[in-house]
Structure formats: structure tokens, C-alpha cells
A = this chain, B = another copy of it.
Amino acid sequence: MSDPGFASLPEPPYYAVIFSSRRSDRDEAGYGAMAQRMVELVSRQPGFLGAESTRGADGFGITVAYFESEEAIRQWRQNAEHTAAREQGRRDWYDHFELRVAKVERAYGWDRAEPL
């Protein structure tokens, strides 16, 4: 698949961290820099498989990050820079968020260029 918006993932099972959020109207530049830094950082996290992320003009966004195991999620959660970013998220960047951790059991994809 060539579209860089999609994560290239192995066959299930693996884990998904589904993070939905409403941005505050504050600090767009700081938020953007942090989001980019978190992508760099999680990409070096052992057990990280990939992520997909989008946000609409209304400030509502969904990021889904995929990991090999619960243990990899736990380690990412304990990363000190990630922990600091979460704290600043509550302080400045988000008005509301929901986080759900799920085990992916099956997956299916389709591409217009390779429909079969």
C-alpha cells in the first residue's frame, strides 16, 4: 500500500490504543510540535507497529496507535517525555479525551488499484 496515511500492520492479533480527543482552542503551534515529536518517539518504541491519525476542522480527532503487546503499551505509557506530554495535554491542548485499549482480532483492507 502506498498511501502514507495508513499503517502497514502484520496479521492480527495485536493491540490498538484508540485515542479520541477534542482540542482546546489554545497553543496550536505547541500542540503541532508535540504531536510530531510523539510520532518520532513512539516510532522508536519496541513493539510499536504503526498509527493512523486525523482531525477535522471542528477540532475533534482520532488517533489509533497499534502495538504488538500490552507490555509495549505499558512501556510507551511509562516513557518520561510521553508522560510529560500527557500532562501538558490536560493542561493546555485538550478539552476532552477518551482512550480505549483493544485487542485486534481480525483485519481487512481494500485498495482501488488492487481491488482483488
Interface residues in chain A, defined as those with a beta carbon under 8 Å from any beta carbon in chain B: 1, 3, 5-7, 12, 16, 18, 20, 22, 24, 52-58, 60-62, 64, 90, 94-112, 115
Distance of A62 from chain B, by nearest CB (Å):
4
User: When the two chains form the complex, which single residue of B16, B22, B108 contacts A5, counting CB atoms closer than 8 Å?
Assistant: B22
Contact B58 A57 (CB under 8 A): no
Inter-subunit contact B99/A111 (CB<8 Å): no
Number of identical monomers bound together in the oligomeric complex:
2
Asked whether, in the complex, the Cβ of A55 is within 8 Å of the Cβ of B52, the reply is: no
> In the complex the two chains form, is A96's CB within 8 Å of B22's CB?
no
Contact with A94, one of B24, B55, B90, B112 (Cβ below 8 angstroms)? B112
CB distance from A66 to the nearest CB of B (A): 8
